[in-house]
Amino acid sequence: MGTAVNEFLATTMSRLNEVETALHNGDATPRMAMWSHSDPVTLFGAARSASGWAEIGPLFERLGASFSNCTSYENEVVAAGASGDLAYIVAFEHTTVSLNGDPPKPYVLRATTVFRRENGEWKVVHRHADGIDAERKGLLQALLADVRVEARDKI
């Protein structure tokens, strides 16, 4: 990997891991701070999708309120790139977490996260995540079926 990619990963990965662990422990605030609030910003989530901060922010709040007791989170980076003010990470996210108070269960997402540098800081502007195979995707959908959503959430 080149210098730009190494610098991007060095400044981003530990923060990303902290942010995602906090979300899975019920606190969406750090994730919301790491995401851009300026359009375009999009989410193609494993359970719900949204476009624009007015949709994404409330979705993260509801998602965080559904998670607790994160016993493990690992971001297994498969590929990454950085050029100018844009960067990306392609990874497998391994998580064990409680959803709506149920006992912790593991799941794996394959995720692509796109970042844009804003005022010298890397901010997420797009995320696309889904289960890695039909069996796990079914488990993930079952895990997230009870995420509290409102009618305006896109499926």
pLDDT digits 0-9 by tens, 5-59: 999 999 999 999 999 999 999 999 999 999 999 999 999 998 889 999 999 999 9
Amino acid in position 125 = V
Q: 129 and 93 in contact (C-beta within 8 Å)?
A: yes
Neighbours of 50 (CB within 10 A): 20
CATH number at residue 14: 3.10.450.50
pTM: 0.85
What's the number of domains the chain is made of? 1
Residue 83 inside a domain? The answer is yes
Longest dimension (CA), the chain: 45
Chain segment 70-119, per-residue pLDDT in tens: 999 999 999 999 999 999 999 999 999 999 999 999 999 999 999 999 99
